[in-house]
Structure 1
Amino acid sequence: MDRTVSPGRVRGALTPPCSKSYAQRALAAALLAEGVSVLRNVEFCDDTRSALRCIETLGAHVTRMGDATLSIEGGLRPAGRVLHVGESGLSTRLFTPVAALHSAPMRIEGEGSLLGRPMGMMAEPLRQLGARVEDNDGFLPIEVCGPLRGGEARIDGSLSSQFITGLLLALPRAAADSTLHVDRAVSTPYLDMTLDTAARFGVEIFQRDYAEFYIPGRQHYRPAFFDIEGDWSAAAMLLVAGATAGEVTVRNVGMLSRQADTAICTALVRAGAAVTSDERQVTAAARPLRAFEFDATHCPDLFPALAALAAAAEGESILRGTSRLTHKECDRAEAIREEYGRLGIEVDTPEQDVMRIRGGKIRGGRVSSHGDHRMAMSLAVAALRSESDVVIEDAACVAKSYPAFFEELEKIKIR
C-alpha cells in the first residue's frame, strides 16, 4: 500500500501505542507466573500479536477484557511445538530461551526480513546452560530443547541486548543459579527495562556494570497488575513532527521512563526545539533548528526520527552508532541515505559508525519504506516540510508498531 503525505503544519495532542518492548517483556513474565496477571494499555500491533501467539503456544490462557486489557493465566505447559514469531526480532530472542525451559523440542519460525537477521549468538550460550540447539547456521528456523539447567555462560552483547533479555527472564526458573558474562553490552536501557519487568513480577536479578548478571534459580514469578506505558519510539516520531512542523504534545509518556528512546528529548534540545514536560506528557514545538551531534549507540531505533530532525536543521548534523543499523528490518543506514537523498537531503557515512546529514529543503517525490515501519514514519514526518507531496511505498508496514500512525498524523494537521 502506498501512502501520500502532503506538506503542512501540525498542532495537537496524541497518545501513542503502548511500549511494545515493555508489552512483550510483560507477556513473557505473565506466562511464567502461576496465576492470573492483568496487562492494561495493550496495543495490538504486529509485534505484540507475535508475542501473544508465543505465550499461548507455550501454555498461557489469554482473555481480552475490553479493547486494551488482557487477563493472562500463566503456566509453562506448551500446547504446540512451533513458535511463530512473525517478523519480531524481540519475540524471537526473548521466547527462544523461555521455550528452552521445557523438556520438549520447540521449533522457532519467522517470516519476511527476520529470516535474514542473525540469530547465531543464541546457540552456544543456550548449550552452555543445558539446552540442545539446532541453529540452522545462525538463522531461523531454529530448534531448542531443554530444560535449561542454569550455570555460567558468556555472551557477545555487541549486536543486540534482546537475547540477554530472554535469558534474564528465563533463567530465574532454572534449577540452578546462573551467571551471565556479557562482552560489550549495547542498548543497556533495554536491559534496565527487563530488570524492572522481572522485579514487578517478584523476581530478583543482580548485575554489575552490564558485564555480569547473577540470576538465582528456582524463583517463582508472581502474578502482577501491569499498566504498560506509552512507547517512546513512537513518541519520538511525533515529537520530531512537532519540532519541525508546529507543536505536538505526546500523552502517556514521562521523562523518568526506563525506555532508551527518551533520549530523543536530548537531541531535540540540542537542535534548538522547545521541549516541555510533566509527569504524564511531553511537548515539542518548532523553533529555528540548528545542526546537532548525537550518539545513538544505545538507542538505535531513534535513527530514523533523528534523520527527520537533522533534515530540518540548518547545517550538518553528526549521528553516531550506525553499526547498530545493519540488522534491523532493513539496513537502516543505507535506507536513510538512499531515501533522504531522493528527497534532496545529503546523507553520507564517511567513516565507521558515523552518519552526516546536511539539512535543507525537502522536495516531494516517491520514496520506499524498505518494508521498515520506522523508515515509513520517518519519511512521513519529513514530508511535512516538503515542497510537494511525498508518496511512501509499502507504508502499511507501520502496522508492526503503530498501525494508526498515518491517521493520527492527519488528525493533528492544521487545515
Structure 2
Amino acid sequence: MKKVQYQIINPVKLGGKITVPSSKSDCHRAVICAGLSHGISEIENVNFSEDIEATCEAMKNLGIDIVKLKDGLIVKGEDKLRIKNSNIHCAQSGSTLRFLIPLAATVENEVTFEGEGKLVERPLKPYYDIFNKQKIEYKNKAGRLPLTINGQLKPGEYRIEGNISSQFISGLLFALPLLDGNSKIIITTELESRPYVDMTLDALNKFSIKIENNNYKEFIIKGNQKYKSCNYKVEGDFSQAAFLLTLGILGEGTECIGLNAKSLQGDKVVLEILKSMGAQIIDEEESIKAVPSKTHGTVIDASQCPDLVPVLAALASVSEGTTKIVNAARLRIKESDRLAAISCELNKIGADVEEKEDGLIIRGKAKLRGGSVYSWNDHRIAMALAAISSKCTEPLIIKDSSCVKKSYPEFWQHFRKLGGNIDEWSVGE
C-alpha cells in the first residue's frame, strides 16, 4: 500500500534567516564534468535531492567512482566512459536523462534509460532525429521510456531548435568534445532558456573544455578535448530561494544565505521580477533579504525562467491587480502540466486564475480560503502553494507533499524553522 503524505499548514506569517540549498542545475553539471575528467575532483555544497542522487547513480553506471560525503562528493573521473550497468535509471530527473543520453552514445555498448512518473513521456524527439540521421539504433515503448540506444555519435553538424528544452543543447555540449573530430551545433530558432546554456558553458570551461559561442546561433566544438579535474563549490539555488523570498514578502521577512550575486543562473531574475511586483529586496554581500511588502500585478515573460512560474503565479494570486504570465507553453511538459496544475489548485482555494494556451492571467485577491489542494506529484507546485499559506483564512492541506524530495528535501524542515505551523500525516491509499 502506497503511503501518501499530507501537510496541514495553519496560516501564520513566517520569517527569519535560512541557508538556501545548493543549485540542482549547477550540481548536475559539476558531477558530469567531474566524472568526465581525468583525476579526482571534490565537489562541495551538494544538496542530495532525488534528482542529484539520480545523476550520481547514473554516472556510476557509466563507470565513474563517486564517494558521497556529508555535504559533498569525491569524484574519480575517467576520460573514457566504460559501462558498468547498462540500465540507467533516471528517476524523475529530466536533466539526468537528457544530459546523459548523448554521453552514453559516445561508447559502443547498448544502454537503456529508464524513468518514473512524467519523465517516461517527456519528449526526446531532437535526439531521435539525430539518431535517425546518424543511423544509431534505438527503440522505445511507443515514444516513451524505456529507451535503448546502440551506436556511437559521430562528429559533424547538429541542428537543434532553440525553443525546445535547452537540456538537449547541454547534453550535446557535454558529449561532442569527446568525439574524434570537430562538431558544430546550429540553433535554428531563437534560443530560449539561454542562461541554462550559459551555466553549461561555464561548467565546461572550469573543467578545461573550450566551446566557441557564436552569439548563441551556433556553437563550435573541437573534438578530442580532455576534461581536467578541479575542485568545485556548488552555488546556492535561486529557484529555491524564490519560495523562501515569497514567504518573507508575505510574512515577516526572510534573509537567504549562500546566494552568488554574480551567478549565471537564469532564475536569478526572480529578484528583478519580485521588485517589479513592488517587493522590497535588499542585496547584501553574503545574503539577499526580502522585506514584508505589498505586491502588485505585472507582466512576466517566462521564456528564460520557466521554473519560477508556479511560485510567481502563487504570489500574483495574492497581489493587488492583474498579472500576466506569457511565453510559458513549455511548462506543460514538466513534472506536471504546470500551467494546468497551478491554476487548478489556486482556484480551488479561492484564487482567480485563467489558464491560457501559453500562459496565465491572474487577478489578485487580498486573501484566499485555504482548504485541500494536490501537488500533482510536482515539487514546485507543492512549494508554491506552501509559500502563500499565510494568506489563507483556513488551514491549507497539501496532498502528496513528499514530492519536494525531488529538489529540496529539507523544505518542510526549513518551513518549520521559519515559523511554519504544520502537521504531517501519512495515509495509505
Instruction: State the TM-score, normalizing by the size of structure 1.
Output: 0.96
Paired residues of 2:317 and 2:353 also in contact (CA < 8 A): no
Alpha-carbon offset, residue 128 of structure 1: 4.1
Q: Is the aligned partner of 1:68 residue 2:71?
A: yes
Q: Is the aligned partner of 1:196 residue 2:205?
A: no
In 1, distance between residues paired with 2:286 and 2:209?
Answer: 27
The letter for the 2-side match of 1:31 is G
SS in 2 for 1:357: strand
Q: What is the correspondence of 1:106-185 to structure 2 with a 5 Å cutoff? A: 106-128=111-133, 131-184=136-189, 185=191
Paired residues of 1:108 and 1:143 also in contact (CA < 8 A): yes
Q: Is the aligned partner of 1:92 residue 2:97?
A: yes
**Map of 1:359 onto structure 2:** 364
**Map of 1:38 onto structure 2:** 42
Higher relative contact order (CA 8 A, sep 6+): 2
Q: Is the aligned partner of 1:51 residue 2:55?
A: yes
CA separation of 1:129 and 1:216: change in aligned 2, threshold 3 A: farther
In 2, distance between residues paired with 1:60 and 1:326?
Answer: 34
RMSD between superposed Cα atoms in Å: 1.5
In 1, distance between residues paired with 2:110 and 2:419?
Answer: 52
**Map of 1:236 onto structure 2:** 242
The letter for the 1-side match of 2:112 is R
In 1, distance between residues paired with 2:373 and 2:286?
Answer: 35
**Map of 2:312 onto structure 1:** 306
Alpha-carbon offset, residue 136 of structure 1: 4.1
In 1, distance between residues paired with 2:379 and 2:354?
Answer: 22
In 2, distance between residues paired with 1:254 and 1:22?
Answer: 12
Unaligned runs of 5+ in 2: 422-429
CA separation of 1:209 and 1:132: change in aligned 2, threshold 3 A: farther
SS in 2 for 1:192: helix
Alpha-carbon offset, residue 127 of structure 1: 4.8
Alpha-carbon offset, residue 115 of structure 1: 1.1
Paired residues of 1:349 and 1:356 also in contact (CA < 8 A): yes
In 1, distance between residues paired with 2:234 and 2:25?
Answer: 10
Q: What is the correspondence of 1:218-233 to structure 2 with a 5 Å cutoff? A: 218-233=224-239
SS in 2 for 1:140: strand
The letter for the 2-side match of 1:195 is L
In 2, distance between residues paired with 1:162 and 1:277?
Answer: 30
CA separation of 1:81 and 1:162: change in aligned 2, threshold 3 A: same
In 2, distance between residues paired with 1:101 and 1:274?
Answer: 49
In 2, distance between residues paired with 1:80 and 1:268?
Answer: 45
Q: Deviations over 1:293-327 (max 9, x none)?
A: 11111110000110122022111111112202110
Q: Deviations over 1:212-246 (max 9, x none)?
A: 11111000000010100111110111111111222
Alpha-carbon offset, residue 126 of structure 1: 4.2
Percent identical? 35
Alpha-carbon offset, residue 149 of structure 1: 2.3
Instruction: Return the match for 2:348 from 339, 342, 345.
Output: 342
Q: Deviations over 1:154-176 (max 9, x none)?
A: 11232201111111011110111
Paired residues of 1:189 and 1:260 also in contact (CA < 8 A): yes
**Map of 1:7 onto structure 2:** 11
SS in 2 for 1:102: coil
Instruction: Return the match for 2:324 from 318, 330, 334.
Output: 318
Alpha-carbon offset, residue 131 of structure 1: 4.0
CA separation of 1:130 and 1:101: change in aligned 2, threshold 3 A: farther
SS in 1 for 2:402: helix
Alpha-carbon offset, residue 182 of structure 1: 1.7
Paired residues of 1:130 and 1:147 also in contact (CA < 8 A): no
**Map of 2:212 onto structure 1:** 206
Q: Give the number of equivalent residue pairs.
A: 413
CA separation of 1:383 and 1:48: change in aligned 2, threshold 3 A: same
The letter for the 1-side match of 2:144 is F
The letter for the 2-side match of 1:356 is I
Paired residues of 1:121 and 1:138 also in contact (CA < 8 A): no
Greater mean deviation of Cα atoms: 389-398 or 32-41:
32-41
**Map of 2:295 onto structure 1:** 289
Unaligned runs of 5+ in 1: none
